[in-house]
Structure 1
Amino acid sequence: MKGIIFAEFLELVENSFGLDVCQKMLDENKNDGVYTSVGTYDHKDLVNLIISLSKLTGVSVEELQRIYGQSVFKTLYNSLPGLDGKADSTFSFIKSVEEYIHVEVKKLYPNANPPSFNFISSSKTQLVMDYQSARCMSHVCLGLIQGCAEHFAENIEIQMDPITADESQVRFTITCLE
């Protein structure tokens, strides 16, 4: 997992919960909190930080993942060159993830293992897709979809249905309410 993900998470924690909570979370994990944006780090370290933050704040792990995904969308969107004109709505952007974004990520970082989306059905008002990731962070995906809808100023409803118990595979049904 790229360092930009960790750096953005630490910034969110500091801004939302304060420097003291951020430091306690890092200390509990014997983590110095130093990440370079292009460095590659074990995703389990992020999971452990989220678990510690949940214990410190009383906010569920799933909700912390969702909040993080929602907040990091703009940073990730702005970090990929050439996105302008590729999508003009939440649905078209999500479809471009497999066709363009993950392809570009793999070009930049050959060892990257991004999640995959399998599109089940699509209409003007509804998109159904299966999310699959060995990292089991489907609530981050939920937040990213919410951040995407905010970016395109669209009102959507999202239903998550786990396909596997560990949520490495989840079906998302996204409905446009406008």
Structure 2
Amino acid sequence: MSVRSRSVITAVTAAALLGLSACGGAGDSGAEQPEPQAKPLQSFDACTFFTPEELTSFGVETKAEDFTQVGFQPGCKWNGDQMILSLQKNVDEDFDQYEKTGTFDEFTRKPFAGRAGARMLTAGAKGQGVCNAVVSAGGGIVLYQVTGNYPEFDACGEVEKIADQTAARLPQ
């Protein structure tokens, strides 16, 4: 076989393989596969969610600080004299997954602003002056957390009040 024949065969084979890969290969119906939909929560910025007026009314500073304890749950916190407020998002888990896979001292289902939600104490948090509200939002969850700066502070009452007042604005 001449060098020219081999070159032509190689070029035809390469073109055929490229054509097959563009069509999706063997066993594919040729229909386009849907792209994974971006979750609305992905573009949500927890650090800019609360208005300055809300933060002032909650008794915390308006300056946000990073509060990303684990990489898949970014968020911010705001310090105050009586409490620390934090807000985080998790686009990897929805509300039901979070309930099933988490370890809690308490997980009491309670809607916030008409959304699936729960008052939650993570494992080991009971009696520590910290309380969370987890709310279904935009294909994932948003976690509100209040930590009281003194023992008598009602962290659960405060986190529920804040979630009730603001959860309606979270991404759908």
For the aligned pair, the TM-score class normalised by the smaller chain equals under 0.3
> Structure with the greater relative contact order (CA < 8 A, sep ≥ 6): 1 or 2?
1
- Larger % of helix: which? 1
Using the size of structure 1 for normalisation, the TM-score is 0.27
- Larger % of strand: which? 2
Rg larger in structure = 2
